[in-house]
Copies of this chain bind each other. A is one copy, B any other.
């Protein structure tokens, strides 16, 4: 993927200096850069790395003295991660999927594929499926009956798209994700122990021997535009209405979204997060890795939850939370501090008791 520095500067809206006709093939860390590489040194701490490597060109922090760094040319990135977004998009070769439909793919005759589709071997596409233009579908993917997917989809190896799932444009599915598995919904003939303790907050009457009867999932999953779903993530179909995910929301590896869950727009659901059935997550919410959300609750817009936060009750919009059960981040920080001192606190109180009893 050869580009001139001039092309890259243009694409990133970045300023350039020196010989912008230089051609680079890839981006690398400064110390590992060869003469055809663009060294990434968006912070002064990487200056040392530049002298170890052999780069002629680099992406630098604003104001860097590129000539003193021994470079022939430089680009400047005021917001380095944003520059990385544009640069990495230019340099990404994308997966190897040959244009057209591989002879070993099985496409139902009623399915409609948009122009420019690339369908790899061992793909199965079901009855009445509609897929927009320029789809790239890697090997071993299955897309079940009635599913509809927008333009420019990239669906990677072994991803599973369930029946009647509807997905917007520019969708990315990482390998092995399952969209539209059956919800986990079971009921006992009489009141179950779980129903009972939710009312009593823990107390139980006589324990009955009961078996579980399945509630089938008649709904499906509706996903907006610009959504990405991570490797081996699992998103269940709804019971009656669809499970829904808004525009621009990104979902990481091994995330579990239960049946009827609703996630808003532009939210970030990080690795191994679990959201139980029928809960609603607002817009621009960030749930860091391993967060958990109980069923049937609401997490407001712009909430940010730190790693492993466990959310058992509704959270108002804009709150920054941490801990299990979740509280405001600053409260949790104080609790954590106090917890480390708790054994000592207990000793102090015991001492005080002794002293006071003597008084």
- Tell me whether A85 and B187 are in contact (CB under 8 A): yes
Of A82, A175, A258, A284, most buried by chain B (CB within 10 Å of CB) is A175
Q: Are A178 and B174 CB-contacts (below 8 A) given A158-B160, A211-B266, A328-B202?
A: yes
A299 to chain B, nearest CB (A): 14
How many residues in A have their beta carbons less than 8 Å from beta carbons of B?
136
A274 cross-chain contacts in B, Cβ below 8 A: 254, 271-272, 289-290
Q: Are A145 and B284 CB-contacts (below 8 A) given A160-B175, A181-B156, A327-B340?
A: no
A202 cross-chain contacts in B, Cβ below 8 A: 320, 322, 328-330, 333
- Tell me whether B343 and A302 are in contact (CB under 8 A): no
Contact of A181 among B84, B163, B174 (CB under 8 A): B174
Q: Please measure, in the bound complex, the distance between the C-alpha atom of A156 and the C-alpha atom of B190, giving whole angstroms.
A: 30
Q: Does A268 contact B (CB under 8 A)?
A: yes
Q: Does A127 contact B (CB under 8 A)?
A: yes
5 smallest beta-carbon distances between A and B, as pairs: A202-B329, A88-B216, A181-B231, A92-B216, A231-B234
- Tell me whether A310 and B292 are in contact (CB under 8 A): no
Q: Please measure, in the bound complex, the distance between the C-alpha atom of A288 and the C-alpha atom of B192, giving whole angstroms.
A: 14
Using an 8 Å CB-CB cutoff, how does the interface string of A21-43 with B read, 1 for contact, 0 for none? 00000111100100000001000
Q: Does A334 contact B (CB under 8 A)?
A: yes
- Tell me whether A40 and B240 are in contact (CB under 8 A): yes
- Tell me whether B308 and A163 are in contact (CB under 8 A): no
Q: Does A45 contact B (CB under 8 A)?
A: no
For residue A339, which residue of chain B has the nearest CB?
Answer: B335
A284 cross-chain contacts in B, Cβ below 8 A: 193, 207, 209-210
Q: Does A346 contact B (CB under 8 A)?
A: yes
Q: Are A194 and B304 CB-contacts (below 8 A) given A89-B214, A253-B236?
A: yes
A267 to chain B, nearest CB (A): 9
Q: Please measure, in the bound complex, the distance between the C-alpha atom of A48 and the C-alpha atom of B13, giving whole angstroms.
A: 53
Q: Does A182 contact B (CB under 8 A)?
A: yes
Using an 8 Å CB-CB cutoff, how does the interface string of A190-203 with B read, 1 for contact, 0 for none? 10011001000111
- Tell me whether B248 and A211 are in contact (CB under 8 A): yes
Q: Please measure, in the bound complex, the distance between the C-alpha atom of A91 and the C-alpha atom of B260, giving whole angstroms.
A: 18
For residue A303, which residue of chain B has the nearest CB?
Answer: B193
A261 to chain B, nearest CB (A): 11
Main secondary structure of the interface of A (DSSP, over half): loop
Contact of A271 among B138, B201, B276 (CB under 8 A): B276
- Tell me whether B232 and A258 are in contact (CB under 8 A): no
Using an 8 Å CB-CB cutoff, how does the interface string of A166-185 with B read, 1 for contact, 0 for none? 00000010111010011010
A163 cross-chain contacts in B, Cβ below 8 A: 95-96
- Tell me whether B329 and A187 are in contact (CB under 8 A): no
Using an 8 Å CB-CB cutoff, how does the interface string of A314-347 with B read, 1 for contact, 0 for none? 0000101010110111110111111111110110
Contact of A353 among B194, B331, B352 (CB under 8 A): B352
Contact of A254 among B32, B256, B270 (CB under 8 A): B256
A99 to chain B, nearest CB (A): 15
A268 cross-chain contacts in B, Cβ below 8 A: 186, 194, 212
Q: Are A250 and B212 CB-contacts (below 8 A) given A176-B232, A302-B193, A308-B310?
A: yes
Given A28-B241, A174-B182; 6 other pairs, CB 8 A cutoff: A85-B216, A88-B218, A236-B253, A254-B254, A276-B288, A276-B307
For residue A266, which residue of chain B has the nearest CB?
Answer: B211
A88 cross-chain contacts in B, Cβ below 8 A: 214-218, 239
